[in-house]
């Protein structure tokens, strides 16, 4: 038996002195980015985390909270082209991943539900369906919709807060 997983949150680099390198290491294990890429750079992570509303949610065993097995890094994003309902601001999921051995345990669902519950703005995420077919299927199966094609197979998706125009019923007065 694997034990209980706990959800943790980092909101600033001051809070993240110990954990930010550990979460970055987890990301590098999951994605194996090119050395020097923004995804592998602690400097870029430290630059994005202090932004207003930016946060990293991560899951770790309750018996070993300093050993993350899943994470979501979200930060505010301004879109030069408005989204479906004319918004230009979103909380953007920049990176999200779960160790392959821990997938199918509900980690991503739990972290994204926490992100959605805390956000009053539209959530956005970009993915490449051909490269990450499981993520593409996961997003499509949970109410995310395509905003636009970004080129080279990359797609931006969005999910609106429950009070957004897309979530309203046809019968409202």
Domains of the chain, CATH where assigned: 5-167 (3.40.630.30)
Q: What is the pTM of this model?
A: 0.89
* Tokens coding 45: 């992570």
**What's the CA gap between 137 and 135, in Å, rounded?**
5
pLDDT, averaged across the chain: 90
Contact (Cβ atoms closer than 8 angstroms) between residue 88 and residue 103? no
pLDDT tens for 14-73 read 777 889 999 999 999 999 888 889 999 999 999 999 999 999 999 999 999 999 999 999
pLDDT grade for 10, boundaries at 50, 70 and 90 = very high
Q: What is the pLDDT of residue 12?
A: 82
Contact (Cβ atoms closer than 8 angstroms) between residue 122 and residue 87? yes
Give mean pLDDT, residues 123-133: 96
DSSP count for the chain of H helices, then E strands: 4, 7
With b for 16 or more beta-carbon neighbours within 10 A and e for fewer, the 89-112 pattern comes to: ebbbbbbbbbbeebeebebbebbb
């Amino acid at each position: 038996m694997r034990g209980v997983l706990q959800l943790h949150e980092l909101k600033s680099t001051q809070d993240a002195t110990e954990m930010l390198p550990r979460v970055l290491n987890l990301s590098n294990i999951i994605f194996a980015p090119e050395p020097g890429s923004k995804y592998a750079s602690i400097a870029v992570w430290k630059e994005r985390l202090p932004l207003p509303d930016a946060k990293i949610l991560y899951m770790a065993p309750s018996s070993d909270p300093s050993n993350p097995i899943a994470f979501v890094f979200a930060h505010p994003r301004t879109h030069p082209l408005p989204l479906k309902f004319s918004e230009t601001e979103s909380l953007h999921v920049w990176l999200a991943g779960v160790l392959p051995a821990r997938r199918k345990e509900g980690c991503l669902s739990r972290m994204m539900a926490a992100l959605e519950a805390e956000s009053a703005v539209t959530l956005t995420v970009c993915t490449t369906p051909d490269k990450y077919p499981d993520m593409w299927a996961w997003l499509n199966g949970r109410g995310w919709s395509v905003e636009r094609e970004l080129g080279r197979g990359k797609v931006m998706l969005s999910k609106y807060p429950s009070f957004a125009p897309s979530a309203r019923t046809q019968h409202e007065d």
